[in-house]
Chains A and B, each alone.
Chain A
Amino acid sequence: MPISLLLAVLVALTVAGFYMGRSRALAGFGGKAVKLHSLPAYYGYYVALWCGIPALFIVAIWLVFEPSIIRALLISSLPPEVQSLPANRLGLVINDVRNLATGNATSVTSDPAMRTAASYYAHLKFVSQVALAILAMCIAVVGIVFGRQNVKPEFWARNRVEKAIMVILMVSSTIAVLTTIGIVLSLVFESLRFFARIPVTDFLFGLHWSPQMALRADQVGSTGAFGAIPLFAGTFLISAIAMVVAAPVGLMSAIYLSEYAPRNVRAIVKPLLEVLAGVPTVVYGFFAALTIAPFFRDSGLMFGLNISSESALAAGVVMGIMIIPFVSSLSDDVINAVPQSMRDGSLGLGATHSETIKRVIVPAALPGIVGGLLLAVSRAIGETMIVVMAAGLAANLTANPFAAVTTVTVQIVTLLVGDQEFDSPKTLAAFALGLVLFCITLVLNVIALSVVNKYREQYE
């Protein structure tokens, strides 16, 4: 039985449980709800919860563990010479078996051992599905029976249901925390495996990045170098260019919009800036590669400058354009939070509007603006698609904005896209880079958020 059908059956059973619980509650008093403790529907919900929750829980657990158990059983059924293969070759064999079992033609179709393995795999899959379906439905039915038995007029159904819902709400609120834990654990775990082969100091302070690994052990000169300094430098260079574009433009447009612009101009310009924020980054990447990079290269040629077609400048400028609305809306918020009395005081003393802004409002809003800019920097560092499409792959350690540089995110993508074994330092290096990225952005965010919050409290 396919999972979707099983889920549909379980949902149907749960709905049935609701009506059975409610009808039993009503039947207990001859159809009158007067003397029930709770509203009749709560008795229905009570039975439905008993029916649905345990069964769905079992299905979830089963689906989590099914693949690894079937895999283990399958491996133990394979011939010993296959079992003794290294892990990645074994994985390929198992993929072949799976493809064979699902009817996709593979190169091993004619191998009898593979055929038996495939039929065994299909058999295991079938048994597992049938067992799961029977088990889940039994649990659902038992849940209905059990729940129904508890349904009595004096039974506090509403309190029980509310308690259960409260638990569900609490559990769902922990998912955000679990996500963070999942991110940290997966990054740290894979990074530790990477650092077991490449020393941390080599990674953090090495000046040379070329993650090509030897295909054969006896190959010369390709042990791979994992010094990440050029990547950090490239990321920093591109982010700096982006901020040089985004900070003044975003800040000035926020000041203009909140202090000068008439209401109708604001009503038009603000949504347009939000459009700029809503454009997917892949579109910016295409724009950078198609329009901006050739434009810079050609205008560089006119002045006799040799600007690479994958220059940091093009990627940085386009990233800056992407960040403008981000800076602008954050600055807009903090500028609007400055109390009107401060403006009035300054204007009353004879300052012009721009003097008020420069000497009173901006200094007062400075912590918030700095916090917003830090958030923007963290966004620039973590931005991926623009640099993947417009920046280079070569890890040059340079501060020249006309040269091609590469960034942390570009390298994560290039290391992980394509067919790779999961164990090589090459793939693991991506997780180490991810860990660095996560830490840097986390620190920036924590600082920025605390600065912004402190500032907000100041004027509230």
Chain B
Amino acid sequence: MSDLAIRNVGMTSAMDATTTNSQRVAAGLKGRYAAERRFKAYGVLAIAFALACLMLLMWTIVSHGYTAFVQTMVRLEITLYPQDIDPDGKRDRDVLSTADYRTPIRQAVADLFPDVQGRSDQRQLDALVSPGAVFLIRDMVMADPSIVGKRVSITIPVSDDLDQLNKGYINPNVAEADRKVSDKQIAWFQRLKDRGLIETNFNTILFTMGDSREPELAGLWGATVGSFFTLAVTIALAFPIAVMTATYLEEFAPKNRWTQLIEVNINNLAAVPSIVFGLLGLAVFLGFFGLPRSAPLVGGMVLALITLPTVIIASRAAFKSVPPSIREAALGLGASRLQTVTDHVLPLAMPGILTGAIIGMAHALGETAPLLMIGMVAFIVDIPGGLTDPATVLPVQVYLWSDSPERAFVERTSAAIMVLLVFLFAMNAVAVLLRRRFERRW
């Protein structure tokens, strides 16, 4: 019974198919084309989403960060009375470097506002200018001791809160308790502005100074130098080792278990989380070998291990793309196997290897987590002078600044990211150019 029913159904559907096949196809076409359009739209949507994220990311960074490239300054007439700075009059460097430069600044500000009385008001008045201004004046005096006793006109940064006010990030219309600057400070700032003493200059401090707790004095130069030293170590270690490994594996290694093990190993290392390499650096380089903490040397070594697999894989691809006929020709003319590689294959593979190396370095430049493990996250004011000096790098500086509570550090973090991204794009552009310029189709 059931068997019969099935046969019946089968027969009727088969008959339907023979009679109305093209009609059925035509009836279904509309829906199928709609599905086709929907599917295509999903693809477009996916790409639009990804690109929108990229745009949003870039826009966030740029819109938050562009204001960090200017800094609000105030022009002060400062009288450097010798009795404050150098009572002995010997212009001794030790005396000059530890002298009290706060008093002249305070005096200069007070001169602008003779009507301000009372301790709390004066403290608020002092807070108008950056507390780091003393260092700028000290450096000026150290550079030219003859200005002691003279009246100098100098622009110094205002405090970070006033800078944020001037840039419009602090709304003066909210309740006084809810913002970092008081009503009086806003009024004084307005008076300074009316007198034309406030200037907005290009923020040279951001590019020339080391880190600081005061946002208006914090700069990226220390981190840039640290990044440079670290990457120098990375490339000095990773590039030769990667090229030698790739040469060996592609050109000389016998196909046996050991070679296979090395290959599997390299592929797996490429996918190990970078923070694990940081743990390795902490346990082996710092713990076992006793190398200094926070040093670009150790950071560079860890980053070299991280980038090694990437560069090896890229180099091997470059070796593979050199056709065997080149090798056969060289060998046929009597070159040894090593001469074949060093004189013919390696030069031809070099553009590809360099491209891979640059991309690897770009990754290393953006790497943060492993460097946190080996102590490159310390607060370091001085510009590092060597491979073993404590240093930090650009991405870690971004992390440190993003952690700071001051409002002014938000724009500086974004500016630091912009600087980092500029370096990264420049490196990637070089890699792309290299590839375009030297790429050969055999």
Contacts and interface: CB of A to CB of B under 8 A. Distances in A.
A442 B267 CA distance: 11
Interface bracket on A:
35 or more
B231 interface: no
A168 B269 contact: no
Given A166-B252, A172-B241, A286-B413, A434 B47 contact: no
Contact of B40 (A189, A253, A354, A355): A354
A451 B272 CA distance: 18
Interface in B1-49: 25, 32-33, 35-36, 38-40, 42-47, 49
Contacts of B57: 276, 279, 283-284, 287, 321
A186 B420 contact: no
A287 B247 contact: no
25 contacts: A68-B290, A71-B290, A162-B337, A169-B252, A173-B245, A177-B262, A182-B284, A190-B283, A256-B42, A256-B47, A272-B51, A279-B57, A281-B366, A285-B402, A352-B35, A355-B35, A358-B39, A381-B273, A382-B272, A385-B395, A412-B279, A416-B279, A422-B287, A434-B279, A449-B267
B248 A172 contact: yes
A67 interface: yes
A64 interface: yes
Interface string A178-202: 0110110011011000000000000
B262 to A, nearest CB: 6
A334 B54 CA distance: 25
Given A275-B54, A278-B362, A409 B369 contact: yes
A253 B245 contact: no
Contacts of B60: 287, 290-291
B267 to A, nearest CB: 6
A449 B57 CA distance: 32
Contacts of B414: 286
Contacts of B368: 280-282, 384-385
Given A287-B57, A290-B60, A180 B268 contact: yes
B442 interface: no
A183 B35 CA distance: 51
Contact of A382 (B61, B273, B366): B273
B198 interface: no
A282 B268 contact: no
Nearest to A438: B276
A180 B308 CA distance: 12
B373 to A, nearest CB: 6
A379 interface: yes
A-B pairs with lowest CB-CB distance, top 6: A382-B273, A256-B43, A280-B366, A186-B283, A252-B46, A354-B39
B261 interface: yes
Contact of A176 (B44, B253, B280, B308): B308
Contacts of B85: none
A55 B208 CA distance: 40
A375 interface: yes
A57 to B, nearest CB: 16
Contacts of B372: 413, 416-417
A180 B265 contact: yes
Nearest to B29: A352
B54 A64 contact: no
Interface string B399-415: 10010000000100110
B244 A256 contact: no
B369 A384 contact: yes
A189 B287 CA distance: 12
A255 interface: yes
A174 interface: yes
Contacts of A324: 50, 53
A75 to B, nearest CB: 13
B36 A354 contact: yes
A235 to B, nearest CB: 11
Contacts of A445: 267-268, 271-272
A183 B277 contact: yes
A311 interface: no
B43 A352 contact: no
Contacts of A284: 57
Contacts of B417: 282-283, 286
B377 interface: yes
Given A176-B265, A183-B277, A282 B40 contact: no
A87 B237 CA distance: 34
A375 B287 CA distance: 31
A290 B404 CA distance: 13
A126 interface: no
A186 B241 contact: no
B402 A256 contact: no
Contacts of B274: 382, 384
A252 B396 CA distance: 34
A389 B402 contact: yes
A227 B80 CA distance: 63
Nearest to B397: A282
B421 interface: yes
Contacts of B369: 281, 384-385, 388, 409, 413
Interface in B46-101: 46-47, 49-51, 53-54, 56-57, 60-61, 64
B377 to A, nearest CB: 6
B280 A253 contact: no
Interface string A273-311: 101101111111111011100000000000000000000
Given A176-B265, A176-B312, A256 B35 contact: no
A172 B312 CA distance: 11
Interface string A67-81: 110010000000000
A322 to B, nearest CB: 9
Contact of B47 (A182, A253, A375, A378): A253
Contact of B271 (A183, A325, A354, A441): A441
Given A269-B47, A280-B420, A357-B39, 19 more contacts: A67-B290, A68-B290, A172-B240, A172-B244, A175-B245, A180-B265, A276-B50, A279-B424, A282-B366, A282-B395, A283-B366, A283-B417, A285-B399, A328-B50, A378-B271, A378-B273, A384-B273, A412-B275, A422-B287
A260 B33 CA distance: 15
B165 interface: no
A120 to B, nearest CB: 18
A431 interface: yes
Interface string B270-305: 011111110110111001111000000000000001
Most chain A beta-carbon contacts within 10 A, residue among B51, B57, B247: B57
Nearest to B309: A176
A67 B43 CA distance: 59
B244 A249 contact: no
B287 A280 contact: no
Contacts of A189: 283
A213 interface: no
Contacts of B241: 172, 175
A205 to B, nearest CB: 23
Contacts of A248: 46
Interface string A432-460: 00100110011001100100000000000
Contacts of A442: 268, 272
A130 to B, nearest CB: 19
Most chain B beta-carbon contacts within 10 A, residue among A260, A280, A290: A280
Contacts of B275: 382, 384, 409, 412-413, 434, 437
A160 B402 CA distance: 57
Contacts of A379: 271, 273
A434 B369 CA distance: 13
Contacts of B205: none
B53 A416 contact: no
